[in-house]
Structure 1
Amino acid sequence: MHRLLYRFGDCTVDLAARELRRGGELVTLSPKVFDCLAYLIDHRDRAIGRDELIAAVWGRLDVTDAVLGQTMLKTRRAVADNGDEQNAIRTIPRFGYRWVADVVVEELPDLPRRAGADTQNRTADGAASAERSADAAHFERAAAAKPARRRGRRRTWIVGAATAAAFALGLTGFALAHRDAISPPSPGLSPRASVDVTAVLPATVDASPEWAWLRLGLMDLIAVRLRSAGMTVVPSDSVVALTGPAGSDGKAAQQLVRSATGAQRLIAPKVTRTAAGWRVHLDVHADGRDLEIEAQHEDAVAAARAAAAMLLDRLGRPGGTQGDTDALSLAAVQQRAEAALLVDDLAGVRQAIETASPALQKAPELRLRLAVADFRGGQLSVARQRLEGLLGEVDAETNPVLRARVLTVLGTVATHSDDIAGALRACAEATALLTDRNEPDALGRAYMGCGVANASMGRFDAAAADFARSRIALEITGDALSLARVEANEGLMENTRGHYAEGASVLRRAADRFQRLGAHSELIHTLCDEVETHLALLQPVEALSVSESGLAQLSQHENADTRRAMQLQHAHALAANGRTSEAVALLGVMENEVSPDQEQALVGQMRATRARFKLEGGQAETAIEPAREAVAALARPDDARERAMAWLTLVRALQAAGRGAEAAEEIRKFAAWSATTTIAAAPVYASLADAELRRATRNDATTSYEHALRASETAGVPADMAAVAASWGHALIDTGDLERASAIVGRVARWAGADFTCSILQTRLYRALGQEEAWRDALQRTRGLAGERPIPAALLRPPSRSAPPIGSTH
């Protein structure tokens, strides 16, 4: 017998002995570091995704980026590599890693059987023998199967699918502000590590095209049937996200699902149309125990139900009954509608249900799916009416789980309709109905709904507790897609609190996951949040790049709010890059399409943007009304930053229009409101508005400016700091107080290379100081950033020591 030795540079890796030697000396490694090294070398012919590497080395997905990053740092150090040179391990941005060093493979005699052969590696971690898992054995087997050859160096990112509550989380999101604040699991829920997880793959359909819906419909039917028998089954929407709507069959798909979800058992259904009806064949793949099940029936759904029952019997679980003809017919329509929901085909959902018999159309399960389709299509009032009708018929005593699912969807619709109190009532009742039941899937989504509602009210501690419970419940189900939503919502929570720097990496990671999972709705909303993050961090180029990628996803979405949210962020990004006319035109198109069901927060943001464009274009009088509408519409606590900026625009417009008394009254109301909110931006902009009014009325504005600057620096949001510095800095230059102006302008100098407002402020200061060389450099940079934005003519003239301060740019 022989084993393989990998040689690169002055290093050798012996997988069988689990030894790394560098310069002939044994390097002591922890098991995880060695496994990372071995997996990358063994798969050196391709890039390895982050999730794949985590699944292979840790055997689960809940490994933080910090843990992975530290492990990769130690892995690089072990082979004398580092993150800057990357001569052995190359980081693939937004994906993972790749081994790039040249490798020579040599054959060695097999290891002798003797005690202590692996002493060095065992002492690195007392549990090393346990760490020698099936993954390590796989590395050795795969390496042995490869011919020894020299490798060339190459260089180089909603509830269970059978329930309507799956879509209760995708469009409004908040999450844990701190992951460490996780509450204990609810009664009856055990940690996922001890759960036997099963995943059902999309069915292979051997029939004419009109039966294509069976691919996802039967997959989900079988998953639901197994889940109802007490098995832990990966939600179907997660499986579809991993394999794609059309699906990728065979071993590649199975490996992807297994590694991403941790499923120990995979079920691959095949449905065939025969002369006598339908045959459903199940290939069940488990570690060391494969099964085959086959059932026939004149109805495809009945055949699938029979196959699921037979499988349950083979696994030693109760198989249940097959039900009567009406139940089978209901199941067929239900599964066909669910297959359409899994791929966001809302027309397909309606067609499947509306072509059923009148009696079946009255079934609560189908009406719930219609409500979900209404909601996802942006028809909030229609969805709410349908759901409230269902609640009158679905009793908590006889069908508590279905009632809880209806309540969860209703809570989400209420949140989008700005009825936060109603949302909290619905979600609280849903969690109460589910807490003592073995329904972690539904319970996790109900807690998510509560978290969304609490976060919308600014009750972040309560929201964090709800999301913590949601995360624990969803971990049990292996629902990778919903857990990715939690991560995206965590980033949004950071944004809402003004912690944009912390939220940036979380949102990027979530967007990459949604991209890989094919979750387009979630991806768009995460990209919207990313654009907001880049704008708040004064990164306009990055904001535009993200918004353009979001626009490319819009053709797949029926929901008008989804489209307009992305378009609005794109308009903001265009304006931040000086493409003003494009931004104004896009906003005009959006405003012409506003519907009665339009979310008020989105309407408010559109009005605020219109007011700002008008004011910047010198049309102060016409900016007043949209600014007032924005202040009125942006009333929720989570809209506080947007409301504060809209209120500042209103005050500025009133002042510019010569309506000083009205401006003073607005400032009074603005200050009173800002004292009631916990969002840090509110006092920043309220104090700034007061300072500008004092300055306009020739009163001392220093105290108000100082308060605004302190508040902005405490919050640490670059865009807010720049707004204060620009206003105060120009005011100080106007009065010739260049020493104090320098201190203020210097606070935002770090962003002058990317942000037009900061750049023009610095250019004006250099000119006022008579620093001609610095002025020329700054002016050249400002011209490059301006786009269509005008640069004051006075700034174009060379400075002189005696030159008087030029007029304010405000």
Structure 2
Amino acid sequence: MGNPVYCFDDCRLDPLARELTRNGVSVALPASAFDCLVYLIENRARPVGKDELISAVWGRADVSDNLLAQTIVRLRRSLGDAGNDQHCIKTVPRVGYRWMLDTSIVVQVSEPVSLHVQAMDEASDAAHVARTSQSATRLRPALLIALLLTVAVAAVYWGLQFHGARAATPALPFDHSSAIVLPATVQGPDDWKWLQLGMMDLISNQLRTAKVPTESSQNVLNLLNQKDKESGGDLASFALVISPRVTLVDNTWHVHLDAKSRDGHGWQAESSSADVLGAAHAAGDLLLAQLGYGAGSTPHGGDSQQQYLLRIEAAQLAGHPDLAKSLIDQAPPDLRRTPEFVYAEADFHCNAGEVERCEQAFNDLLKHLPADKQVLRGKVLTSLWYSYYRKHQFAQGEEALNEAVRLLQGKKDIEALATAYLDRSHLEFFEAKLDEAAMDLGLARVNYTLAGDTVGQSKVDVSMAEIAEQRGQFAQELTLSQQAYEHFQRMGMRELLSMPLQGLVYSHKMLLQFPDELAATELYWPFEQKNMQFCDDYVRRALVILRAVALADSGRTSEASAVLEQLLGQFKSTDEAAQRAWAQALLAELSLERGETQPALAWITRAMDGSALKEDDNKRNIAQAWLTNINILLRAGRADDLKRTVAAMQTWAAPLAAHDEWIELYVMRATAAEAWSEGKHEQAFEQLKLAMALADKLGVPDLIVSVGQPYAQVLLSTGNVDQAVAVSGRLSSWSELDWRVAWTEACVYRALGQMSAWEKYRGKAQALAGDRPELTEPAVLGF
């Protein structure tokens, strides 16, 4: 059979192995981006329409042009196609895209495979290596023997251990058809090539155990070896085709499963471990959970009990809490009595947002744990970190995590120790101990790496992204969030996607990358279409709020308000008060931007009523709400109320501003608003000048524009045109992105008498402003 490999510039693309290398170095791409690249190259003789490309890559028509454009941008960056050159992928106006590079094809020929002959040869080679090879010692001889036995007796073993397995509301039906598993692609030492068939058999048996009708390996190999069927066209008749890939990197095995149904849908699952057998089982469990299949089994102890617990964890990670609950409810009595099961059940309640029930279960477990269960005790103490966080008992939480670290140090469960460091960093982060948090994250990463846990490493990336956000390093946050999102997505761990998604959206916003910000929200919106219904209420509401902000940033403020008002209608009286107040503050801000002063007053009054908003852990959100309130009062001409509100804000911010320059910046803008309302223009100038210097120091584009736009406007309104020109020039690099910058430039040109430029930039500003009121006259819009 021939396997085409495409070569261009310094790159090599192997579609079958799903590998792109540049100068011999592997280039990581999301699955959709990889498929997009392959399709463009395969059809390089012509332009490919956007609809055609979306259909070919995503298999459905509801994918937005923004997501496609984001995928193309990512491809260009990965291929070194920077700037506007488009020497790799050219945009064809009103059509789509076309591959431009000279591309050569190398056909790799693979020898036909015979199950009986090659399997015995591979097994013989492996047995020989177990006796003579030095390289096998790093992977433990016992593991090698276990793998050989697994290939031989997997069907019997799983049939006995999980005799009662059944499917739990499968997402993928197998009526009148079956699944097949192809031979694995193995990237590792030559003595492990036998895994091509060993992994194929292992995954096939795992599918059959879960009651997924699966073709035998013999039948699949016979099909592949028929000379007149080299095209593989007959594979399209199967309900599901699974392509395993096994890679050994730095003594860690990565098992990746790429599954595609005949209707074009795709799933991916990956697991990493120093134990290739464990990685294979974990990846298989994760894929089954994504497909909606679980195992209602009767484990008899030992490894089978551990496997059952891993299936519960896989169901949660895949975003199927109903499946996880079913597994918990059906667990046999002998398993239910173990402390490990009690821990797994408590963890399920935590992930389901049932915080009180989760906390009670963990505390009860601590009271009854035998003295010899030190590792489990350490894991329970680690899991209680969120309870301490919710109660703002940071010191007690750190003390508990310190004990967890002491219990886990020197034990075999390196992953548990890594998690203790990770969760201790969360508490340190919320106490603004960023250096200590970063140090613990470094310890967590090292231990996750030693454990071969790449998911844990990506969790560290998410936490490092949060620290980067707090420090205003949004380019770094964007990179870390993107890496974590792609890794969780590739591994099929949908439960973990929400945190990097929030980081992606927010970092794009603060960098003024508004189309990318909106496109990032379309990775999860609408929830039902993007299969994100599993998110708990708090996370879902946070993602909804981010969606509304992204809509407003793209000029769709009315739609953003509708999303927020619909969200408020879904809150219950016991729901998070701070989240509700933050949504109300955003509605006030949007009303103000549309010139609706009275509705803005009504919304901000609700948001600031009582102490709900002040319970928000993000003090910058509170500072922004204060400033919104002040700008509304300024617009309404309520000078006395404005003065009282500024004084109250200054009192609130006094103990915070010394530790957070963002809050100091908000206070400067509020003070400038008060001075302006009282006609003290020089004082307003001075405050805005200080705020501009601080914003430049922080270096965050959104902060710079938020200060620079009102600064330039007040300068213009008092005849300080030269200074306004200087401020406008500082902002001009963002005039194609942000309506506030384009409007500032327009006003400057008008003041200079450049009327054609005034009209040009006013039109640009209006287009970017979207449904905001018509921009006609220079005016101070707010501080």
Superposed displacement of residue 730, structure 1: 1.5
CA apart distance, 1:612:
1.8
CA distances 1:422-449 after superposition (whole Å, capped 9, x unpaired): 4323322211210121210100011100
Offset at residue 635 of structure 1 (A): 5.5
The answer for the alignment partner of 2:566 in structure 1 is 589
| 8 A Cα contact 2:501 2:520, kept in partner | yes
| Preserved CA contact (<8 Å) 1:623 1:650 | no
Q: CA deviation at 1:342?
A: 4.5
CA distance, structure 2, for counterparts of residue 377 and residue 590 of structure 1: 20
Partner of 1:258, secondary structure, is: strand
Closer/same/farther in 2, CA of residues 714 and 338 from structure 1, 3 Å limit: closer
Q: Distance in 1 between matches of 2:725 and 2:353?
A: 50
Counterpart-to-counterpart distance in 2, 1:265 and 1:502 = 26
Residue 672 of structure 1 corresponds to: 654
- Give the equivalent residue in structure 1 for 2:608: 628
Q: Is residue 482 of structure 2 the alignment partner of residue 508 of structure 1? A: yes
Give how far 1:556 is off.
3.6
1:442 match: 416
Moved more, 512-521 or 668-677: 668-677
Question: Are the counterparts in 1 of residues 739 and 768 from structure 2 also a CA contact under 8 Å?
Answer: yes
**Structure-1 residue corresponding to 2:539:** 562
Alignment of 1:572 with 2:549, yes or no, is yes
TM superposition shift of 1:464: 0.7
Contact 2:469 2:507 in 1 (8 A): yes
Aligned to 1:533: 507
Q: Deviation digits for residues 339-363 of structure 1, max 9, x if unmatched? A: 5335343233333333457786454
Query: 1:491 pairs with 459, 462, 465, which one?
Result: 465
Offset at 1:784? 1.4
Q: Deviations over 1:346-397 (max 9, x none)?
A: 23333333345778645432232222222211222221222222222225x3
Which deviations, in whole Å up to 9, do the C-alpha atoms of 1:202-260 show, x marking residues without a partner?
A: 987668884358x9xxxxxxxxxxxxxxxxxxxxxxx99xx999999989978634357
1:186 alignment counterpart: none
CA contact (8 A) 1:349 1:370 kept: no
Native 8 Å contact 2:488 2:496 kept in 1:
yes
Distance in 2 (alpha carbons) for counterparts of 1:668 and 1:265: 54
- 1:746 Cα shift? 1.8
Moved more, 409-418 or 259-268: 259-268
Residue identity in the other structure for 1:698: G
Which whole-Å CA distance do the structure 2 matches of 1:686 and 1:76 have between them? 45
Q: Equivalent residue of 1:747, what SS?
A: helix
Counterpart in the other structure of 2:780: 808
Question: Partner letter of residue 475 of structure 2?
Answer: A
Deviation, structure 1 residue 745: 1.9
Amino acid at match of 1:693: E
Change (3 A) 1:615 1:103: closer
Distance 1:488 1:255, change over 3 A: same
**Is residue 2:725 matched to residue 1:733?**
no
| Cross-structure match for 1:753 | 736
Secondary structure, counterpart of 2:524 in structure 1: helix
Give the TM-score taking structure 1 as reference length.
0.63
Aligned-partner residue type, residue 583 of structure 1? A
Q: Which residue of 1 aligns with 2:290?
A: none
RMSD between aligned alpha carbons? Answer: 4.6
Q: Report the equivalent of 2:662.
A: 681
The total of aligned residue pairs comes to 584
Q: Alpha carbons of 1:746 and 1:264: their partners in 2 closer, same or farther (altered >3 Å)?
A: closer
User: CA 1:630/1:48 → structure 2, altered by over 3 Å: closer, same or farther?
Assistant: farther
Q: Which residue of 2 aligns with 1:663?
A: 645
Q: Distance in 1 between matches of 2:301 and 2:26?
A: 31
Q: Where does 1:641-790 land on structure 2 (aligned, <5 Å)?
A: 641-657=620-636, 658=638, 659-677=641-659, 679-699=660-680, 700-790=683-773
Give, in whole Å, the separation in 2 of the partners of 1:613 and 1:557. Answer: 30
Deviation string for 1:515-570 (max 9, x for gaps)?
22222232232121111111111121111111111225453414112211111100
Please give the alpha-carbon distance, in whole angstroms, between the structure 1 residues aligned to 2:103 and 2:311. Answer: 52
* Bigger shift: residues 525-534 or 514-523: 514-523
Q: Residue 162 of structure 1 corresponds to which residue in structure 2?
A: none
Residues 1:352 and 2:327 are matched in the alignment: yes
One-letter amino acid of the counterpart of residue 411, structure 2: R
Aligned pairs for 1:538-549 (under 5 A) are: 538-549=512-523
CA distance in 2, matches of 1:492, 1:592: 30
CA displacement, residues 561-598 of structure 1 (integer Å, 9 cap, x when unaligned): 22111111000001111211211111122222234665
Inter-CA distance 754–588: structure 2 relative to 1 (3 Å threshold): same
Match of 1:113 in 2: none
Amino acid at match of 1:663: T
Hey, what does 2:245 align to over in structure 1? 256
1:461 aligns with 2:435: yes
Other-structure match for 1:377? 352
Q: CA deviation at 1:303?
A: 7.5
Cα distance in 1, alignment partners of residues 399 and 577 from structure 2: 21
Query: Which of structures 1 and 2 has the larger relative contact order (alpha carbons within 8 angstroms, sep 6+)?
Result: 1
How far does residue 470 in structure 1 lie from its aligned partner after superposition?
0.5
**TM-score w.r.t. length of structure 2:** 0.65
Query: 5+ unaligned residues in a row in structure 1: which ranges?
Result: 1-5, 12-36, 58-71, 91-97, 106-141, 148-192, 216-238, 269-283, 287-298, 309-327, 796-805
- Which residue of 1 is the match for residue 50 of structure 2? none
How many Å separate the matches in 2 of 1:608 and 1:82?
A: 40
Aligned-residue offset at 1:763: 1.7
**Secondary structure in 2 matching 1:256:** strand
Q: Within 1, Cα distance between the matches of 2:492 and 2:763?
A: 43
> 1:297-316, aligned counterparts within 5 Å?
305=302
Measure the CA separation in 1 of the matches of 2:721 and 2:308. Answer: 75
Report deviation, 1:756: 1.5
Shift in alpha-carbon separation, 1:693–1:670, aligned structure 2, 3 A = farther
Is 1:389 matched up with 2:364? yes
1:126-182 deviation per Cα after TM superposition (whole angstroms, max 9, x unaligned): xxxxxxxxxxxxxxxx957589xxxxxxxxxxxxxxxxxxxxxxxxxxxxxxxxxxx
Show structure 2 runs of 5+ residues with no match: 29-74, 91-98, 113-136, 171-201, 222-240, 258-274, 278-295
Q: Deviations over 1:601-626 (max 9, x none)?
A: 64453243233234433134324334
Using the alignment, how far apart are the partners of 2:451 and 2:358 within structure 1?
Answer: 28
Change (3 A) 1:461 1:358: same
Taking a change above 3 Å as real, the CA distance of residues 344 and 727 of structure 1, as seen in their structure-2 partners, is same
CA distance in 2, matches of 1:248, 1:99: 42
Distance (whole Å) between structure 2 residues aligned to residue 551 and residue 342 of structure 1: 19
Q: What residue in structure 2 maps to residue 129 of structure 1? A: none
> Structure 1 residues 76 and 766 mapped into 2: Cα distance closer, same or farther (>3 Å)?
closer
Cα gap change, 1:355 to 1:363, in 2 (>3 Å)? same
- Measured in 1, the distance between the counterparts of 2:100 and 2:722 equals 55
> Percent identical across equivalent pairs?
23
Distance change in 2, residues 1:704/1:52 (3 Å): same
Report the CA distance between 1:453 and its aligned residue: 1.2
Q: Which residue of 1 aligns with 2:178?
A: none
Which secondary structure state, in structure 2, belongs to the residue aligned with residue 594 of structure 1? coil
> Counterpart of 2:379?
405
Q: Which of 201, 204, 211 is residue 166 of structure 2 equivalent to?
A: 211
- 1:476 and 2:447 aligned: no
- The answer on whether the counterparts of 2:737 and 2:768 sit within 8 Å (CA) in structure 1 is yes
- 1:79-478 correspondence to structure 2 within 5 Å: 101-103=102-104, 145=110, 210-212=165-167, 256-259=245-248, 262-263=251-252, 305=302, 334=309, 337-356=312-331, 361=336, 363-395=338-370, 397-415=371-389, 418-478=392-452
Report matched runs for 1:29-108 at 5 Å: 41=12, 43=14, 48-49=19-20, 101-103=102-104
Separation of aligned partners in 2, 1:51 and 1:337: 40
